């Protein structure tokens, strides 16, 4: 031990300087490693962010296409509803017209006079005379 004590007492300044230089080099190596790791992480996160932006743009485009398809379906459904309503109104008018004609024909038949004295032959003659109108039902 006395040899170490003698060496330390004579060379403490160079040893201290060597320890300080080694500490500075170790600290520099740690800082460089942390900087490189941070740069790698930044590069990785930048790549991931670009991929996510691309994915979001694709998703936005897909949503736009689906919204357009939904709008088209809605327009077609609205047109079909309008067509059905128009057809229903036309059918209702035709039905009302046919009902009116049938009611008139029914009143005409109720009011029609058949010669009771001639019996069945009179009814047949009356039917033959009315055949054109009766066949239009």
Phi-psi group of 115: left, alpha or beta (phi > 0 → left; psi -120 to 50 → alpha; rest → beta): beta
Name the H helices within the chain.
2-111, 120-129, 131-135
Burial tier of 6 (Cβ tally within 10 Å: 0-12, 13-18, 19+) = exposed
Burial tier of 40 (Cβ tally within 10 Å: 0-12, 13-18, 19+) = exposed
Q: For 116, which DSSP code? A: G
pTM: 0.47
| pLDDT at position 132 | 77
pLDDT over 90, % of the chain? 60
| pLDDT at position 66 | 97
Tens-binned pLDDT, residue by residue, of the chain (137 aa):
678 877 778 888 888 899 999 999 999 999 999 999 999 999 999 999 999 999 999 999 999 999 999 999 999 999 999 999 999 999 999 999 999 988 888 787 777 666 665 667 777 777 787 777 767 66
Tokens of 91: 């059918």
DSSP string across 13-50? HHHHHHHHHHHHHHHHHHHHHHHHHHHHHHHHHHHHHH
Q: Per residue in 9-33, pLDDT tens?
A: 888 888 889 999 999 999 999 999 9
Q: Whole-angstrom Cα distance, residue 10 to residue 101?
A: 136
């Amino acid at each position: 031990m006395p040899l170490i004590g003698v060496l330390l007492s004579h060379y403490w300044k160079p040893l201290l300087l060597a320890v300080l230089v080694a500490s500075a080099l170790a600290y520099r190596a740690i800082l460089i490693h942390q900087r490189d790791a941070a740069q790698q992480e930044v590069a990785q996160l930048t790549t991931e962010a670009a991929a996510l932006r691309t994915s979001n743009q694709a998703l936005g485009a897909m949503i736009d296409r689906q919204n357009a398809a939904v709008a088209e379906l809605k327009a077609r459904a609205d047109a079909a509803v309008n067509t059905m309503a128009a057809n229903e109104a036309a059918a209702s008018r035709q039905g009302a017209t046919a009902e009116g004609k049938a009611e008139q024909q029914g009143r005409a038949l109720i009011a029609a006079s058949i010669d009771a004295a001639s019996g069945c032959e009179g009814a047949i003659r009356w039917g033959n005379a009315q055949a054109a109108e009766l066949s239009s039902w």
